[in-house]
Amino acid sequence: MTLVLDEAQVRLALDMPAAIEAMEALCREEAAGQTLSADRIHLRLPRGFLRILPGVLTQAGVMGYKAFHTNGHGVRYAVHLFDFETGAPLAIMDASHVTAIRTGAMAAVALKYLSPAEATRVGVIGSGLEARTEMAALMAVRPGIRSGRVFSPRSERREAFAREMSETYGLQMSAVERPQQAIEDAEILLVATGTRGGGVALEGAWLHAGLHINSIGSTAPEQREIDPEVWRRADRIALDTLRLLHESGDALAAEQAGTLDRSRIVELHQVVAGQAVGRGSPNQTTLYKSVGTGLQDIAAASRIYQRAREQGLGCEMADFLTARLPTR
């Protein structure tokens, strides 16, 4: 039987701590060479796109793909999960929350391994869902954060975000009128913007020594979130996948500007597994940059499937795929 889960059931099945645990386990599985992945499929539609992200976790015993699309009527997300050994369908689930929580959870892994362990001050650029997820991830691994500043272009949105974060986490979070003010004195900077045009959100000239930056925007070649100088000023850069170098507009712009030094770049799973150094000293400026991967979606979906079964969530549907021997 195939388990079918809607968005509300997905939210019940996976919280941030469990998602972080799943992403850290994925990093170790990747480092051990026990995953298979491929470039995302990206098809442009008249008023949108269709994207498919596949992933196989051989040790965890699952495989599948996330598909999401829009053609001018909102974005729809779904994950299809299968058993690796038998190919049997395990689950179909709404993946809007999967996308948000796995992005935040992988960002939390980056924060755990790259950001100053004793950090107390955070800066935030962005005030949408992604910024909220990033804050949840931050507080899960850096509970010593006591204050922060947030900038986003619309004053009412940044002020609402500051109030919400203050109430949710017991912080002294304030809204500021310029992005530079959010960065001043911060030890950690979260950049989570819509990247829908209007220029970059973060300039390298604003950075200072010892700062760790998480940037999760610019997941397509035409999108931008950070300028090329950020890449030059970062002493160590961790990517969730090296495919980012040809998928993200930020990386493409840095390559064109000559500020992308590949000797400073590692993949996050290498840092988690001890195969590469993350933050080498307190004065280093570090950058985590992500575009998301199908492996992350499948790792999160696998954990959701397990917990949903334990909690009796979702509804079951008779298997709709019949196994057939290949014909010649």
Residue 28 inside a domain? The answer is yes
Residue span of the structural domain in which 56 resides: 2-99+294-317
Mean pLDDT along residues 146-166? 97
**Number of helices followed by number of strands (H, E) in the chain:** 11, 16
Query: What is each CA distance from 151 to 37, 146, 159, 178, 183, in whole angstroms?
Result: 36, 17, 9, 6, 9
pTM: 0.93
Each residue's pLDDT tens digit, 20-49 = 999 999 999 999 999 999 988 989 999 999
Do 39 and 72 have their domain in common?
A: yes
In CATH, what number is assigned to the domain containing residue 200? 3.40.50.720
CA distance 234 to 213: 9
In CATH, what number is assigned to the domain containing residue 82? 3.30.1780.10
CA distance 188 to 91: 37
pLDDT at 55 over 80: yes
Q: Determine the pLDDT at residue 173.
A: 98
- Do 268 and 288 contact (CB within 8 A), yes or no? yes
Strand positions, DSSP E, 209-263: 212-215, 236-239
Residue 328 inside a domain? The answer is no
Which residues contact residue 37 at a Cβ distance below 8 angstroms, ignoring those fewer than 6 apart? 54, 55, 56, 241, 293, 294, 295
Q: Determine the pLDDT at residue 328.
A: 56
Each residue's pLDDT tens digit, 182-237 = 999 999 999 998 766 557 999 999 999 999 999 988 777 888 999 999 999 999 99
Do 136 and 85 have their domain in common?
A: no
Do 266 and 154 have their domain in common?
A: yes
The domain tally of the chain equals 2
- Closest residue by Cα to residue 81 from 146, 175, 13, 154: 13
Provide the β-strand partners of residue 128.
none
